[in-house]
Amino acid sequence: MAFSADVKTSTAYPIPETQKAWVLGDPGELILTEKPVPAPDRAEVLVRIDAIAVCGTDIEVIYQGPPALIEGGLPFNKNWTPGHEYMGTIVALGKGVDEYEIGQRVTVEIHAGCGQCKRCREGMYTSCHNYGKNYGDQNKGHRANGFTTDGGFCEYAVNNINTLAKVSDVMSDAEATLVVTAGTSMYGLTELGGLVAGESVVITGPGPIGLLGVAVAKALGASPVILTGTRDNRLAIGTKLGADYVVNVTNEDAVEKVKEYTAGIGADYVLECSGARNSLNEAGKMANRGGKICLAAFPHEDVPVDVMHLVANNIYVYGIRGEGKSGTRRAAALMDQKRFDATLIHTHTFDMGELPEAIRYAKDRVEDAIKVVVTNSFAYAQKAEAAE
């Protein structure tokens, strides 16, 4: 493919004019089509997508629309490609990019803030003030791949260099797609204070973020780490990832068990990953006085809050969006060091041509799917050819 003279490419990584890409039609409808391969601009690279994980938010977007907004409205029937938890190989460098090399393996996070607003200058690019204000105008700088711009259910995607994390060859492609999930957990623990070594941490909800929240908390030295949930098989995975105690809330009182495991005073930190209606109030009762709660899940209904309890006990409540403050890079470092085995949550693999079935498995939890990974067979054919 012929890009402008400012874009660096290599004959070792041929780039076609067009690519296969899934686009969102009506709610729940994914259509396989051909789209142009995008060109990287200043401070951007072109990534050949080798693998991508299906996130619960992808399913919400595909069936409901929000939180994706394309051209100021819902994402349906706009030739738009969803998907955001991908990794791949850099195949082209935009103008001024010397931080990365062609052929380098990277995993990506979603958000590239505008870099100009107050929040971006504070490192809070997932709360960029221009989120929602510059749809269709990329000149402002903000982009959220798979939410405001094309995502990764395709073969090639453009990423700002600030959204990249290098991954070494000790990490498989499938494992590298899980870095952004671990990065969200890392961001939550960062907002709670970061220095969790020797502190008690409760994780509520053994979904992908909750399970890797256990792993990250343990890798950072938290003790004890307590996981609560409703599924014994997922709680068992939590134990393998480092949970000191697990609580099945269908059989036991989670608040009482947390108090039991924390000498009666409650946990220093609670990372809430379930989104359940009663989760915030239960988290408040699990936390000790002066403790901190981080909300990392989107609830699907209005949540009643016992404000009196929070105020009377000086409990802090935080909310996070995505994987900010470079949580992805720090999570990638832990995974490169094999501090925990994120692949324990990877349950199913599909080819990109089977994306609707992959989405079904993730949505309906077929065979108790936790994290479904989708691979690009064309990328693996290129890898095999390059190795010959």
- Per-residue pLDDT reduced to its tens digit, 280-292: 999 999 999 999 9
The reported pLDDT for the residue numbered 137 is: 57
Domain containing 266 equals: 184-319
- CB of 209 within 8 A of CB of 275? no
Q: Is 266 helix (H, G, I), strand (E, B) or coil?
A: coil
Checking if the pLDDT of 140 tops 90, the result is no
> Quick one: 258 and 378 in the same domain?
no
Domain assignment present for residue 219? The answer is yes
Q: What percent of the chain has pLDDT over 70?
A: 97
Q: What is the CATH number of the domain that holds 246?
A: 3.40.50.720
Total of domains in the chain? 2
Rounded CA gap, 181 and 213, in Å? 9
- Per-residue pLDDT reduced to its tens digit, 307-329: 999 999 999 999 998 888 888 99
Higher pLDDT among residues 56 and 131, named by residue? 56
User: pTM of this prediction?
Assistant: 0.93
Domain assignment present for residue 175? The answer is no
Which residues make beta-bridge pairs with 36? 18
**What is the pLDDT confidence band of residue 129, given thresholds at 50, 70 and 90?**
confident
> Quick one: 157 and 59 in the same domain?
yes
Q: Please tell me whether the peptide bond between 40 and the residue prior to it is cis, using omega within 30 degrees of 0.
A: no
Q: What is the mean pLDDT of the chain?
A: 93
The reported pLDDT for the residue numbered 169 is: 92
Backbone phi and psi for residue 305, each to the nearest 5 degrees, phi listed first: -130, 130
The reported pLDDT for the residue numbered 323 is: 85
> Quick one: 241 and 358 in the same domain?
no
Checking if the pLDDT of 332 tops 80, the result is yes
Mean pLDDT of 141-160: 92
Q: Provide CB contacts within 8 A for 388, sequence distance 6+.
A: none
Q: What is the CATH number of the domain that holds 346?
A: 3.90.180.10
> Quick one: 152 and 195 in the same domain?
no
- CB of 22 within 8 A of CB of 31? yes
Q: Which of 284, 319, 354 is the last residue of a domain?
A: 319
> Quick one: 304 and 195 in the same domain?
yes
> Quick one: 285 and 309 in the same domain?
yes
Rounded CA gap, 272 and 188, in Å? 9
